[in-house]
A and B are shown apart, each in its own frame.
Chain A
Amino acid sequence: MARAVVSVPATAKRGEVIEIKTLVQHVMETGFRRTQLGELIPRDIIRTFVCTYNGEEIFRADFHPAISANPLMTFSTVATASGTFEFKWAGDKGFSVTESAKITVA
């Protein structure tokens, strides 16, 4: 199981723009590289990343082979209410990882 690390502020003021950082473990094999025997290494990448905040989608990204191994993603959202962030990565070979984080909004 691939590891995922997310960084969300524990508390925030209502209406404040908060920054979220996510990191997930993945080789992101491009599908353009060859082994020393000349065989093409099949593509194996994360295709999509979705972040939901109390069930509502706030950010989504499509990854291509040009995203580095162990993709890092930094983005923002407005702290509207206390609740849970859900992060979901999905990719080739049935890759699927979810992670969640809680926030308290004052």
Chain B
Amino acid sequence: MTTRREFLATAAGLAGGIRLAAVAAPAQATPAAMQEAVRKVIGTAQVRKGRVKLDVPPLIDNGNAIALSVAVESPMTPANYVKALHVFAERNPLPNILSAYFGPRSGRARVATRVRLADTGTVIAIAQMSDGSFWSDSAHVVVTLSACLEEALI
């Protein structure tokens, strides 16, 4: 005979299992998929933390339009400038969000746009400097209404 307590514990476990399965569905990228996407863009280079400032709200109501800006500390001279900036989200079906390319004439390595996020997770920005080094910053973002995967009303 199953007691009420045991029944509830089992039900909770099952529900947890279902949630895990939903997260692992191929439509949503996992952190491993993000790592792969990052490697595809930057190769095997080592990425260090710092010099990049990723600005994204920590809590988001609507994942369809999130103000995101990234700034990189750099003098932006012909000898030392930011070549490229890549932004990824670990929970998006396609982790890549944006790649921006700068030059010494950019003056300031800063870019601002609006992005979509599918689920709560980490967003990472990686900057490639002209000397070949890579720097990054990441932010954890809580999303209550997901983008990308919702059913279209058509």
Contacts and interface: CB of A to CB of B under 8 A. Distances in A.
Interface of A: 17-18, 30, 32-36, 41, 53, 56-69, 71-78, 80
Contacts of B131: none
Dominant secondary structure of chain B at its interface with chain A: loop
Interface string B82-114: 000000010011101111111101111011111
Contact of A78 (B107, B110, B151): B107
B102 to A, nearest CB: 7
Given A64-B97, A67-B98, A75-B110, 16 more contacts: A32-B93, A33-B151, A56-B105, A59-B106, A65-B93, A65-B94, A66-B148, A67-B113, A68-B66, A68-B115, A68-B116, A74-B113, A75-B111, A75-B112, A76-B108, A78-B105
A69 B64 CA distance: 8
Nearest to A18: B107
B60 interface: no
Contacts of B97: 64, 66-67
B27 interface: yes
Contacts of B150: 33
Contacts of B100: 59-62, 75
B89 A66 contact: yes
Nearest to B101: A60
